[in-house]
Structure 1
Amino acid sequence: MRAAGVAGLVAAAAIVPAAAFADPAGKSTVEETIVRNSGGGYVELKRQGGESHVVRSELAKPKSGRAARRSSLLMFAQVTDPQVVDEMSPARIELVDPAGAPLTAAHRPQETLGPHAFDAVVRNLNANRTSTIKPGKGSRGKVGFAISTGDLADNQQRNETGWVRTILEGGRVDPFSGQVISASNPCASATPEQVNALNQAVASRRYTGVQDYGDYPGVTPDTRYGGFWDPDRAAPTAGGLYPAFPRYPGLLDRAQQPFTAAGLNFPWFAAFGNHDALVQGNAPASISLIQSFSVGCLKPYPTQGLDPASVAGQTESQIFARLTDPAFLGQLLAGGRLVPPDPNRAFLSKSQFKSALGSADRNHGFGYQSSKVKQKTKGAMGYYAFNPRKGVRMIVLDTIAEGGGADGNLDDPQYRWLESELKANRDHLVLISSHHTLETMDNTTPDEEAGACTATLTVGCDADPQKSTPLHQGQKGKANVQSLLLKYPNVVAYVNGHTHRNEVIAHKKGKTGFFEINTASHIDWPQQSRTIEIMDNDDGTISIFGTILDSAAPVKAPAPGVPASTFSNTQLGSLARTLAANDPQSEATTDGVDGRGQRRDRNVELVIPDPRD
């Protein structure tokens, strides 16, 4: 671990400029966009001209003169997939990340800057609260609330959830992980000398993890080091992923300093994401060894003994399933090294997650839950509905597969609840929201696979005593979610995340249809959010305007080689965006689809028949 002294870090923190707005703060991508420079290797970002709204007419023919007639019905914001990471947590599997797809989300070069990136997203939402769409009647729309479509945390941990809540609500965020060893926070395997060293690391707020090659010396410098980016050292060129990445001395330690988050200037409501309810978004936290890892002081590091290629092609779910294999556990533990423990890394159950979000905004949506249904689920209910304004119903689904797996589904009790909500609100415009897209609701694992909760097993288990089957997928099977929604003409939009890219899809059956609106994540390139405004065209149609926002971090990242101790918080957000754009395992590289999506997936005007007519 780095040997920076406490005095040096305190002095560095004292000269860090206060957070401030920066271009593109206050602008939407209608005015200007941010794109990658052309060329290979590590590239900078640049401004480009804005993008007007693309009219999508798959569901209704737009009528001329509607701009002079339209009025704003509702405007809200979408935040999604910030996946704020405790990058020093022992309960992660970064050591297998170099194996490549589909394990590429186990580590990201920008992950230590996640809190700053998300704060920059929040700041630009605040600066774009008033609509840029001019109405023909009435006043301009204004964002009334935000819906978070899941994956607030990365690893289901208490500290990650707390950081995200503070970023959304405003206040002091302390992104450092690790606490002084004591009787209540022990590290039984450490010698007195090691305890002293670990406590010094906590006092100096030093980063500890796979991005610091010095934390696991003596490992053959091939993909064991080359699979990670250390901003203080030159990356291995042979077989490494990051040989072109620049150096930013002291960046990892600078990222651990507390900062003040702006917080949203309007209410926000949350949906469960797979990373909020499953370890690394894949496995139930019922595995006792993983639970002990999360709060303990032994962190698995890359070793010569465990070749990432040995798990190539396996999913993260398959990797977690191997944790019950003594041979595989032995390989992990052979590379274990001591790190400062932290009880705040404990995994949260669903009920604990809801409590951790706090009581503001009706418990950020969960206060709208039916007490009767909540009682049936023994508090495990993760779905709810509310009226953001008269005549509009927002239904928030819980698409997490409790039994494990990154993709989602609806269990049968929730499906029947959704059907009852739709029947009871035929006279409302209905908006649906969840973490998973319809396409990625293809998980066939029943919730019961997680095991029933007991007096000793309270996290990572299936607390709902109701039978989950038959499961309902997004688009497959007789009783799938898409078919159910298409039965109701008043369902106009389905807002979701999970895939980390901008995409808008029209779903139609006969004269009935709705648009599925998916928005890019805040951890991966391009780190964008979206405002959504519903407008009455007063001609038998409704227009839904989706407007993409970049974060309020400077377009140009700080120059390489400059001591990171001088970087402002907005500069850290800027660097996070640039690193994400250069991530060698980004969506564009692994899936062939850039997170920005196509032109028709970004700024859009979605025209639909007005079901109220």
Structure 2
Amino acid sequence: MSRTRSVASSALGVNRRTVLAATAAVSVSAGIGYALRPTDSQAATGEATNATNAAAQAPVAESRKAPAAPLAPYTKGTTLATVAAPRTHSGYRRLGDGAGWKRVVRADLAAAKSGRAGRRTALASFVQFTDLHLMDTQHPLRLEYLRSTDKHAWRPHEALTVQGGISLVERVNALRGAPVTGSPLHFVMTTGDNTDNNAKSELEWFMKIMSGGRFTPNTGDPRHYEGVMNSGLKLYWQPDSTLRDGDKQVGFPHLKGFLAAAIREVRSPGLNLPWYSTVGNHDALPLGCFGSHADPYLTELAIGGKKLMTATAAEAKKLQNSIRDAKDPKGTGYRDFLKAHARSARSITPDEKRAPYTSAEYLKAHLDPAYQGLGPVGHGYSSANVDAGTQYYAFRIADDVIGISLDTTDAGGHYEGSIGATQLRWLDKTLRDNKDSYAVIFSHHTSKTMDNTRPDPAHPTERRYEGNAVVALLGSHSNVLAWVNGHIHRNVITPHAAPDGRSFWEISTASHVDYPQLARVIELVDNKDGTLSLFTTLIESAAPHRTDFSDLTQTGLGALYRELSYNAPGSSTVLGGDAKDRNTELLLKKG
């Protein structure tokens, strides 16, 4: 297959670009596989299935039509034009419109040749969401009380993750196309931590935000909020109360009616693009770090009527260290901690919607027709994934480009990741089978955060590999252009050069829960001079930069979500990254 056809000139055309149709399976152990065609998706399974039958059963998902007028280049709605910035100088800082971030050309892996802007043709373009961390903040299995030892262990804006997520969808829907080329955007990919606490309530909210619909981001008592923000505890911001809590002492406002507004019904328009999903540790593991759903005590507590809200700084520090140092990957110590503090827990309304979900339930939610939106069916996952118990797959982005979504969560526990030997072999084979197509790899963890090789309880004898093994494998394939991921909540773009001259870019994007709350548009272009360019353009949500404390509408709460996150005590000021990690042109030699 040629790797020189552009989006504009391919047979399918820019106005009706097919990004995925069917599901079809490949067996790694048996060595059975095939190159992905423009209507294929493939998942790892235990046995081969009939690709033709699968293709006939699954509808084709299409991107929106290309606008009639030339659009490129443009900056509106991106951080090239403006970025939220503080407009006051001390205390609680109000946000307003700030100067945009310029585009930086990075020639680490290839020289930038003059005249390329006039020659280039678009190959593909898409949007990356990552680390939405949609939160059921009233859930009993939350660690808010760690704030007694770490200010940022609980964030004052956490009750607004849903409104912020919807506002991000609205931003993407308003984009006129890819900012550099003007070509239509093909899809949105989420790179994990879509939910925060592996709760069914959070999974439902994620699916509805992405695919569209009305829902109420509330669990427990339908009449009012029950959590730390109306607990009367000075450790947490009490927005509806005049109590002089610790956050108000540093300028946080008194906002009567805030909590009622936060759990009020919302409406998401759903993405007007097809979307795909990648799993993260917070999606797969309770609290993002405990490796088993088998403990009945934790499951019962999740749906029960007791919630712990306080712990001494010493107790909190000990618990936090056990999680950070991976001393309690199965959650046994956490269970014992909760049992020891059972009498200190406060009463809340029980709710079975807070139960943890399994990997099979995660997959089935994606396959549910109620959440199809603009597709594709399964959002990358297929019934083959359900049958095999896998959460990785490959899909066709364009005639000349494939996407590969990995599962880097270690089911043995801990928040850092790794990859199993079977999946690594599948990745190698998929790249070889599609050697005539460029490849973009998606995962949750970064190469440097894949250092946790605990055995997977489902495959205890299988070897697990760290990130350096993935880097080496990707570097051995000349068709790999980029590895796109999240997890670290920070913008970092890293060049990877293999000794034989093969190279690719690792693009890690900041979260949408911590300021500056960003997503990223990525464009792949052929410069027609022996080089390729990857353009990265960051976007914020559609909510206005300026907030109005009297505006508690869905849009107003979306704006408050950003401003509260900027002011969150203990929050990092460097997550936006340096200029070279934000809006960029990344050069590569053409393989």
Normalised by the shorter chain, which TM-score bucket? 0.7 to 0.9
- Residue 34 of structure 2: aligned partner: none
> Alpha-carbon deviation of 1:323?
4.2
Letter of the structure 2 residue corresponding to residue 274 of structure 1? N
Does 2:118 align with 1:68? Answer: yes
The equivalent position to 2:260 in structure 1, one of 246, 253, 262, is 253
SS at match of 1:447: coil
Equivalent-residue separation in structure 1 for 2:321 and 2:249 (angstroms): 21
SS at match of 1:35: strand
The equivalent position to 1:91 in structure 2, one of 126, 133, 141, is 141
Equivalent-residue separation in structure 2 for 1:337 and 1:296 (angstroms): 11
The equivalent position to 1:549 in structure 2, one of 516, 525, 539, is 539
Equivalent-residue separation in structure 2 for 1:27 and 1:596 (angstroms): 17
1:385-426 CA distance string (max 9 Å, x none) = 011111211111000000101010001111111111122121
Identity among equivalent positions (%) equals: 34
The equivalent position to 1:291 in structure 2, one of 289, 294, 299, is 299
The equivalent position to 1:345 in structure 2, one of 351, 354, 376, is 354
1:47-105 CA distance string (max 9 Å, x none) = 1222232101001001000011011110111011111000011121222232218xx44
Contact (CA 8 Å) 1:35, 1:47: kept in 2 or not? yes
- Residue 427 of structure 1: aligned partner: 436
The equivalent position to 1:113 in structure 2, one of 125, 139, 160, is 160
- Residue 200 of structure 2: aligned partner: 158
> Alpha-carbon deviation of 1:37?
4.0
Letter of the structure 1 residue corresponding to residue 165 of structure 2? F
Which is worse superposed, 356-365 or 321-330?
A: 321-330
Equivalent-residue separation in structure 2 for 1:250 and 1:308 (angstroms): 31
- Residue 182 of structure 1: aligned partner: none
TM-score by length of 2: 0.82
Contact (CA 8 Å) 2:102, 2:579: kept in 1 or not? no
Contact (CA 8 Å) 2:104, 2:585: kept in 1 or not? yes
Contact (CA 8 Å) 1:306, 1:331: kept in 2 or not? no
Instruction: Quote the RMSD (CA, aligned, Å).
Output: 2.3
- Residue 188 of structure 2: aligned partner: 146
1:291-340 CA distance string (max 9 Å, x none) = 11111111122156985345464425546766457863343212112211
> Alpha-carbon deviation of 1:160?
0.4
The equivalent position to 2:565 in structure 1, one of 580, 583, 595, is 580
The equivalent position to 2:506 in structure 1, one of 510, 513, 516, is 516
The equivalent position to 2:493 in structure 1, one of 486, 498, 504, is 504
> Alpha-carbon deviation of 1:26?
5.2
- Residue 418 of structure 1: aligned partner: 427
Equivalent-residue separation in structure 2 for 1:157 and 1:242 (angstroms): 33
- Residue 602 of structure 1: aligned partner: 582
Contact (CA 8 Å) 2:329, 2:413: kept in 1 or not? no
> Alpha-carbon deviation of 1:286?
2.3
Equivalent-residue separation in structure 2 for 1:519 and 1:32 (angstroms): 18
How many residues end up aligned between the 2 structures?
A: 509
Contact (CA 8 Å) 1:322, 1:328: kept in 2 or not? no
Does 2:228 align with 1:210? Answer: yes
SS at match of 2:286: coil
The equivalent position to 1:471 in structure 2, one of 464, 470, 477, is 464
Equivalent-residue separation in structure 2 for 1:435 and 1:120 (angstroms): 22
- Residue 363 of structure 1: aligned partner: 378
Matches within 5 A, 1:397-416: 397-416=406-425
Letter of the structure 2 residue corresponding to residue 472 of structure 1? Y
1:552-582 CA distance string (max 9 Å, x none) = 00101123xx4xxx52211101000001111
Query: Structure 1's 327 and 228: CA in aligned 2 closer, same or farther, altered over 3 A?
Result: same
Contact (CA 8 Å) 1:241, 1:584: kept in 2 or not? no
Contact (CA 8 Å) 1:229, 1:242: kept in 2 or not? no
Equivalent-residue separation in structure 2 for 1:584 and 1:319 (angstroms): 27
Query: Structure 1's 337 and 320: CA in aligned 2 closer, same or farther, altered over 3 A?
Result: farther
Equivalent-residue separation in structure 1 for 2:158 and 2:289 (angstroms): 18
Equivalent-residue separation in structure 1 for 2:389 and 2:261 (angstroms): 39
1:487-532 CA distance string (max 9 Å, x none) = 1121000110111111111111231111111111111111111111
Structure 2's unaligned 5+ residue stretches are 1-74
1:257-309 CA distance string (max 9 Å, x none) = 00111211011000110000001101023222111111111112215698534
Contact (CA 8 Å) 1:351, 1:379: kept in 2 or not? no
Letter of the structure 2 residue corresponding to residue 520 of structure 1? A
Contact (CA 8 Å) 2:92, 2:250: kept in 1 or not? no
Equivalent-residue separation in structure 2 for 1:42 and 1:498 (angstroms): 28
Does 2:80 align with 1:30? Answer: yes
- Residue 276 of structure 2: aligned partner: 269
Query: Structure 1's 162 and 610: CA in aligned 2 closer, same or farther, altered over 3 A?
Result: same
1:107-128 CA distance string (max 9 Å, x none) = 2211110000011111111111
Contact (CA 8 Å) 2:122, 2:183: kept in 1 or not? yes
SS at match of 2:288: coil
> Alpha-carbon deviation of 1:253?
1.7
Equivalent-residue separation in structure 1 for 2:330 and 2:92 (angstroms): 36
Contact (CA 8 Å) 2:87, 2:94: kept in 1 or not? yes
> Alpha-carbon deviation of 1:482?
0.5
> Alpha-carbon deviation of 1:250?
1.8
> Alpha-carbon deviation of 1:467?
4.8
